[in-house]
A = this chain, B = another copy of it.
Amino acid sequence: MNTVPKTKLGPSVITEYLQRVVEDLREVEGGAVKDSIPALANADPNPIGIAVATVDGAIYQAGDSKQEFCIQSISKAFTYAQALTDRGMDGVFEKIDVEPSGDAFNEISLQPETGRPANPMINAGAIAATSLVKNTAHGTRRERILRLYSRLAGRQLRINKTIHAQENRSGDRNRALGWLLSSRDIIEGDPTNALEDYFAQCSVMLNCVDLARMGATLAAGGVNPLSGERVLSTQVVSDVLSVMYTCGMYDDAGRWALKVGLPAKSGVAGGIIAVLPGQLAVAVFSPPLDQHGNSVRGVAACERLSQDLDLHFARTERNGHSTVRSQYYLSEAPSLMRRNDAANEVLEEHGEDVRIVELQGDLRFAGAETAIRTIREAARECAYVLVDIRQVDDLARYVMPLLGRTSEQLENAQRHLAIIAEKGSEHTQDLDHPVTVFPTRAEALTWAEDEILEKFGGPECMPDKVRSTDSDLLSSLSDEDVEEIRSKTTRVEWPAGTTVLRAGQRFEGVYMVVSGNVEITRRSPTGERVELEVLGPGKSFGEVALGTDSRHMVSFTTITDVVARKLPPEAVDEIEKTHPELALRWWRAVSTHAMRRIEERWRQQAGETHTTD
């Protein structure tokens, strides 16, 4: 139950941090607003907005993060993405190279031999990229560009008509670039339409939150974290981020790489977007620009965040060392199957022939390498290696084939690999080499134990059935007492899959298993069915409610056909009345049996505490 009243916690520490950054940015001086068009020349230089959007869909913002500004050159990255989507990298590469030029953004220069713009982040390349976006039945080029931006941001964005008109009026230098591109057949025919659309895309209005969400969609490999919609392919996103990395900050690319280390794009209205693949995007807005055309405070903010939060690509600490969650021998964590003494003896002798390796986290190359190395090391001394991948989050597509091939290598050396994976896990579906797969650790352990018992144990280790007097429950009693108690029991049998006793039922007798297996289960608080024990011939169940009026807290289900002897409550009552001395010995036997189970559990509990290497 929950008895706590609701409360408000105030802004997250991450929001507080961004608020401090904005305050500190107010102290940063210098730069001038762009004067190319009146809307920019007359802009208030003071607003500062910042937003961070994560690939989980979280957003943090501070300052003027909701103030709209026009996207300007930041649009180049996204339109390039649409061109790549429409034409493929080869089709686009024919027209636009991907090399940093070292030139200013509006330089009038094309590669002498090919006529290609150096990259799609300078104006010449951006105009060419716009021209490569198709007019289709589903929308004109301009509509499709606007739709892409909107899907990336997760809301409908609009073109500011005043700014568009101003861009158009002052666009002569860009017109010159357009005609130059036409002269070299980079744009086919009249460039006017492409130029119009380019002016329009530069005039799209958005705020820091929109821009951060657009970046987070790139960070998430093209899937909008909020809508879950795939907006761009992984390949296109990778290509766009690569070009942003080397060319996004114009002739400041090298310093940016050093100080920030994130792919980014700036616009002359004062916006900057920076993307940390797999994690987040940062959007900043502050109009005054430096000599490269980048927002002075925007650059300062990105340097600050990269430094404070270690976002720089080269600052990744080592990955993969948390891949192996734990590893241990069978002897330290036996299966849930309650075996007889003969079996336990054999398993004890071979308890280090089986190694369990639990993996976790993301299995990309470094993780896979660690996993495979760990498996190979285990296989040097163990005949069976059980690899539990249920706690693995993300598994690169090439990892399962590598595990499959490793399994084959192990088998050639008389070793065996088994994988523990969720039922129906996609990972285990397309293995070249078939690997034994189990859905639970319990089943994998039981399998390995059975293998060992088959190889090294006599038939007494895995009895198909026991004599009806051979019950662990009665093992501390004399033959005479056992026979007396047996005479009060009746034979019962159930087919596989029968729930013999359900949690919540009252005591209705003690069952001593003669043949077959019974599983003890319970629902976890979150509703999952948890296997607690598996009982074979010689084991008993139902006695936990014996002598009390409490209800069973667990369910008992047959997993094979089962034959058992049932000792009903009346029989216990009768023994207490007519044979008080036998009753005393019976209760002592039951006590002793229960105590041994408590001890077993303690041993298991101590064994489960594994350390991660």
Q: Point out the residues of chain B lying under 8 angstroms from A570, CB to CB.
A: none
* Interchain CB contact under 8 A, A254 and B258: no
Query: Which residues of chain A (314-344) have a CB below 8 Å from chain B?
Result: 314-322, 328-329, 331-332
Complex partner residue of A9 from B56, B118, B276, B376, CB under 8 angstroms: B376
Q: Which 6 A-B pairs have the closest CB atoms?
A: A278-B316, A594-B594, A587-B587, A2-B352, A99-B254, A241-B314
A251-273 CB mask vs B (1 if < 8 Å, else 0) is: 11111011001010000000000
A87 CB within 8 Å of chain B: no
Q: Point out the residues of chain B lying under 8 angstroms from A553, CB to CB.
A: 599, 602-603
Interface size class of A (residues with CB under 8 A): 35 or more
Q: Point out the residues of chain B lying under 8 angstroms from A362, CB to CB.
A: 317, 319, 322
A70 CB within 8 Å of chain B: no
A238 CB within 8 Å of chain B: yes
* Copy count, this protein chain: 2
Q: Point out the residues of chain B lying under 8 angstroms from A298, CB to CB.
A: none
A350 CB within 8 Å of chain B: yes
Closest Cβ of chain B to A219, distance in Å, is 8
Interface segment among A42-50, A181-189, A604-612: the answer is A604-612
Query: 9 interchain pairs (CB within 8 A)?
Result: A9-B376, A99-B252, A242-B254, A277-B315, A318-B394, A328-B525, A522-B605, A544-B595, A598-B598
* Interchain CB contact under 8 A, A254 and B246: yes
A493 CB within 8 Å of chain B: no
Q: Point out the residues of chain B lying under 8 angstroms from A97, CB to CB.
A: 254
A35 CB within 8 Å of chain B: no
A370 CB within 8 Å of chain B: yes
Closest to A100 in B: B100
Complex partner residue of A597 from B402, B598, B606, CB under 8 angstroms: B598
A437 CB within 8 Å of chain B: no
Q: Point out the residues of chain B lying under 8 angstroms from A530, CB to CB.
A: 605-606, 609
Complex partner residue of A99 from B251, B522, B526, CB under 8 angstroms: B251
* Interchain CB contact under 8 A, A548 and B595: yes
Known: A55-B318, A369-B14, A591-B591. A9 touches B413 (CB 8 A): yes
Q: Point out the residues of chain B lying under 8 angstroms from A415, CB to CB.
A: 7, 9
Q: A257, A362, A370, A380: which has the most chain B beta carbons within 10 Å?
A: A257
Q: Point out the residues of chain B lying under 8 angstroms from A98, CB to CB.
A: 254-255, 257-258
Closest Cβ of chain B to A501, distance in Å, is 13
Q: Point out the residues of chain B lying under 8 angstroms from A309, CB to CB.
A: 364-365, 396, 398
Q: Point out the residues of chain B lying under 8 angstroms from A369, CB to CB.
A: 14, 54, 56, 58, 280
A6 CB within 8 Å of chain B: yes
A101-123 CB mask vs B (1 if < 8 Å, else 0) is: 11000000000000000110000
Interface segment among A161-169, A191-199, A577-585: the answer is A577-585
CA of A532 to CA of B372 in the docked complex: distance in angstroms? 34
* Interchain CB contact under 8 A, B14 and A402: yes
Closest to A612 in B: B391
* Interchain CB contact under 8 A, A394 and B99: no
Closest to A377 in B: B9
Query: Which residues of chain A (1-33) have a CB below 8 Å from chain B?
Result: 1-4, 6-10, 12-14, 16-17
